[in-house]
Amino acid sequence: MRRVAVLSVHTSPLEQPGTGDAGGMNVYIVQTATRMARRGVEVEVFTRATSSELPPVAELAPGVTVRHVVAGPFEGLGKEELPGQLCAFTAGVLRAEAHHEPGHYDVIHSHYWLSGQVGWLARDRWAVPLVHTAHTLAKVKNANLAASDTPEPRLRVIGEEQVVAESDRLVANTEVEASELVDLYAADPAKVLVVPPGVDLDRFTPGDRPAARAALGLRPDDVVLAFVGRIQPLKAPDVLVRAAAELLARAPGLRERLVVLVVGGPSGSGVRTPEELKRLAGELGVADVVRFLPPQGGAALARVYRAADVVAVPSHNESFGLVALEAQACGTPVVAAAVGGLPVAVRDGVSGLLVAGHEAGAWARALGDVATNPAYREGLAANAVGHARRFSWDRTTDSLLAGYAQARDVFREEVFA
């Protein structure tokens, strides 16, 4: 494998995860692309330019290039408006490739359905295989929609069906997602490859908990619950706020020590109501214990995980849940919704707890059981580190490269048959 073209239309790997459309997919692309480059594979990432100040080409890491493709206005264009710019984006991608000799890329890896639409055309023009990772699926998301969220449009459903049908390989995060692709999208099982995401085991490690708390202005004996991610109905941070109110109703004396950290920025339909979560905290009488922090990266994010007694991942749907892995790698137990890939990311009763549904009482019990019982928490914490170490970006990268090679070999056999 010499060169890989990575397509990420709606969000750049250079953006900070946790706000806007930047999230786990950004982390996935950065981590795998960087590791491919270390193995001698050249990676070019095509993404839409969102500012006139961005250079046409930027280096993400040695061997990893990010190309900013002009497609539509630089700013103020929501993800739901991007289908109208796919023609312009595709033209930019094809023009970039036209400057190279035929066969410059060995494979295309598209991320999210918008990129898959571009990859579909590039595949046919370049005569190379298309590998696609959905990251989220409209049919699954609509079946698990938060009460205040907006359903994914039929345009996306049709677009996903087309990409599934045209891809040479489909990368699923878990066996559950693989089944969804087959059962809901009629994917060919032989083309579905299960490759679990990883965690940066060098960055996310157990550390000095008192120092992490001191850096965040927390006291040593505070009971700290944390949410990390984009503030939108799909991620359900409101579940944590409601659970905190329920905890205090059951144990009023906890108010002096309880701190709820909400780390992230508005995204998706949450952009329209950025103050909604603060308003909810006020209505429930817990505004005094809820603290909001902007998205954190690198060492600062690891510090948040280490400072928390428990990290909550109450999403209505997650194809995997990288936050859960990162927190556990830092030695912090996770309480997560029993949806999507989270039962793989969290080992129920061993590295954390899984909660069926999103009822505040059930979440309060689970969070309280972990956060207010030091002995129980420490047992889960020790197991959490071991569980997280079963996942690594190196393993993910090796599996992807093997999948690329297999797709390339099969593609060549079919072309020259």
In a domain, 326, yes or no: yes
Q: Cα(129)–Cα(89) distance, rounded to whole angstroms?
A: 19
Nearest to 394 by CA among 193, 176, 204, 196: 196
Question: How much of the chain exceeds pLDDT 90, in percent?
Answer: 80
Number of domains in the chain: 2
Structure tokens at 236: 């359900």
Domain, as residue range, for 303? 209-389
Average pLDDT over every residue of 242-264:
96
Contact 71, 49 (CB under 8 A): yes
Instruction: Tell whether the torsion through CA atoms of 72, 74, 80 and 86 is positive or negative.
Output: positive
Answer whether residue 194 shows pLDDT above 90: yes
What pLDDT is stored for residue 274 in this prediction?
Answer: 59
Does residue 219 share a domain with residue 258?
yes
Write out the binding residues for UDP-N-acetyl-alpha-D-glucosamine: 16-17, 24, 230, 235, 296, 318, 326
Does residue 299 share a domain with residue 177?
no
- β-sheet bridge partners, residue 261: 226, 291
Nearest to 34 by CA among 65, 55, 8: 65
Report the alpha-carbon angle 252-255-256, nearest 5: 125
Question: How much of the chain exceeds pLDDT 70, in percent?
Answer: 96
Write out the binding residues for 1D-myo-inositol 3-phosphate: 10, 21-26, 79, 112, 136, 156
Write out the binding residues: 10, 16-17, 21-26, 79, 112, 136, 156, 230, 235, 296, 305-306, 308, 318, 326, 332
Whole-Å CA distances, 341 to 154, 274, 278, 368: 24, 27, 29, 24
Does residue 213 share a domain with residue 189?
no
Does residue 277 share a domain with residue 313?
yes
Nearest to 352 by CA among 370, 339, 340, 329: 370
In a domain, 120, yes or no: yes
Does residue 91 share a domain with residue 29?
yes
In a domain, 368, yes or no: yes
Q: Cα(33)–Cα(4) distance, rounded to whole angstroms?
A: 9
Q: Cα(200)–Cα(33) distance, rounded to whole angstroms?
A: 13
Contact 135, 180 (CB under 8 A): no
Does residue 213 share a domain with residue 107?
no
Pairing state of beta strands 64-69 and 57-61? antiparallel
Average pLDDT over every residue of 179-193:
97
Least confident among 98-107, 177-186, 253-262: 98-107
Does residue 227 share a domain with residue 173?
no
The whole model's pTM is what? 0.91
In a domain, 204, yes or no: no
- The three-class DSSP label of residue 367 is helix
Does residue 181 share a domain with residue 104?
yes
Place of tokens 């677009």: 159
Contact 287, 278 (CB under 8 A): yes
Contact 135, 160 (CB under 8 A): no
In a domain, 263, yes or no: yes
Structure tokens at 71: 């497609």
pLDDT band at 273 (very low <50, low <70, confident <90, very high): low
In a domain, 63, yes or no: yes
In a domain, 203, yes or no: no
Least confident among 244-253, 267-276, 351-360: 267-276
Which are the contacts of 373, defined by CB distance < 8 A and separation ≥ 6? Answer: none
CA terminus-to-terminus distance, the chain: 22
In a domain, 67, yes or no: yes
Contact 48, 9 (CB under 8 A): yes
Select the more confidently predicted residue: 275 or 36: 36
Does residue 243 share a domain with residue 335?
yes
- β-sheet bridge partners, residue 111: 133
Where are the extended beta strands (E) located within 203-301?
223-228, 258-263, 290-293
Does residue 348 share a domain with residue 221?
yes
199: alpha, beta or left, given left = phi > 0 and alpha = psi -120 to 50?
A: beta
Does residue 412 share a domain with residue 306?
no
Q: Following DSSP, what letter does each residue of 291-336 receive, concatenated?
A: EEE----HHHHHHHHHH-SEEEE--S--SS-HHHHHHHHTT--EEE
Write out the binding residues for Mg(2+): 305-306, 308, 332
Answer whether residue 270 shows pLDDT above 50: no
**Mind listing the pLDDT tens digit for each residue in 212-241?**
999 999 999 999 999 999 898 989 999 999
Does residue 266 share a domain with residue 142?
no
- 148: CATH: 3.40.50.2000
